[in-house]
Amino acid sequence: LLDPAPSVAAAQRKKPDELASIVQDLTTLLENITPMLERGRYPEKTAGKKIAGLLRAVADQLDV
């Protein structure tokens, strides 16, 4: 019998060690904005959009 072909998303998935490095960098970024959020302020709009995009990209890598 034929094995099913891997999905396109799975084929484009980053290697676990690469994703771990990205997650570590993202964690540092989130730790840097935490004090601002605790003071009741959001990041500037452009920074917020970039952070949200990075979070979505990591979520897409995990959700395959």
pLDDT at 1 exceeding the cut of 90: no
41 belongs to a structural domain? yes
Tokens standing for 48? 């917020």
Q: According to the model, what pLDDT value does residue 51 have?
A: 97
Domain enclosing residue 32, as ranges:
8-62
How many domains does one find in the chain? Answer: 1
Tell me the whole-structure pTM to 2 decimals. 0.78
Is 25 part of any domain? Answer: yes
Cα–Cα distances in Å, from 34 out to 9, 29, 40, 59, 64? 32, 9, 10, 20, 29
Q: What is the pLDDT of residues 6-47, one digit of tens each?
A: 777 778 899 999 999 999 999 999 999 999 999 999 999 999
Q: Is residue 43 part of a domain?
A: yes
